[in-house]
Amino acid sequence: MSTNSILVCGGAGYIGSHMAQWLNDNGQTVTVLDNLSTGHREAVRWGEFVQADLLDPESLEVAFNGRQFDAVMHFCARSLVGESVTEPYGYYANNVTGTLNLLEAMRRHDVRKLVFSSTAAVFGNPVADVIDEAHPNAPINPYGASKLMAERFLADAAHAYGLRSVALRYFNAAGALPDHGIGEAHACETHLIPNVLRAALGQGPSLRIFGDDYDTPDGTCVRDYVHVQDLAQAHALALDFMDRNEGAHTFNLGNGQGFSVHDVIATAASVAGASIPYEVAARRAGDPARLVASSAKAREQLGWQPRWTELAPIIESAWRWHRDQPTWSPHYAPAGHSCQIA
């Protein structure tokens, strides 16, 4: 990778902070932009920090003025599926209008490359056991719809303005880099692995499994987990890809393996050396039985090779982060509130 100056929008958040670490350690110049609504200033450990908001074009202008960026990485999104159903206006404002404001600022300042953090939620309910990029896009919630709309912006901007972009559709981001002091630190935690590990630590409310009667080997939902460092690697490869390719491109990112909720709990119990109590609750509407990615296109065209291919090391990295969290993490002390599993 040649040396570039990269603006990491949302770089104080979970995936964005891991991206900043990857870029810095691979010789890139990093600037982090974040409004700190869900990110943490303490997680900005690499590069210059600029506090700005995609919904405030004036603050964006301040961030771009006097700086030259070779590319932008866009991680700024509201991403809680359930919340998007109850607060759709906020999701469309942040994820759609905010993205448009960023694209307009990039155009004014002649920045022609964007890596966009998208999601498997653009697909909706799966019609195939393994989901590739040709799978129909039929989002079933405002979060997925807002991300798909932003992807449409990128395709239109490629034709109209020559913007080069790569949209990376993650499945389930997981894991941490505890030796670098960063991990998944959400005040409102909805992801399975952190909630399982919090249960192992005796933090938060009791763990719930939503449905154990699905048509899967053990009756619980099956998901594809990809380590956050592997996601960062894919974003870096996307920069090189855009050097060689015009237009707007999409790639799915996952391990290509499915692990059930029971698999996660059993593996976490082994890693933590502790039993993990849970209760079974009713299914949630809209939860597919199985969501597993095909990442063949990313492997072939980006040259992406995930390094974290087994569930146990992914969970072990997250366990060390949760067990030894810094004092700035919202989960440092036992909490009385959690948003529970998504």
Asked if residue 23 lies in contact with residue 30, where contact means CB atoms within 8 angstroms, the answer is yes
3-state secondary structure 92-146: HHHHHHHHHHHHHHHHHCCCCEEEEEEEHHHCCCCCCCCECCCCCCCCCCHHHHH
Bridge partners of 253?
Answer: 170
Asked if 48 and 30 touch (Cβ cutoff 8 Å), the reply is yes
Active site residues: 143
Distance between CA atoms of residues 81 and 66, nearest Å? 37
**Phi-psi map region of 212: left, alpha, beta (phi>0 left; psi -120 to 50 alpha):** alpha
Residue 305's CB: how many other CB atoms inside 10 A? 13
Start-end of H helices in the chain: 14-25, 57-64, 81-86, 88-92, 98-108, 142-161, 192-200, 228-244, 261-272, 296-297, 311-323
Find the helix or strand (DSSP H, E) in which 166 lies. strand 164-170
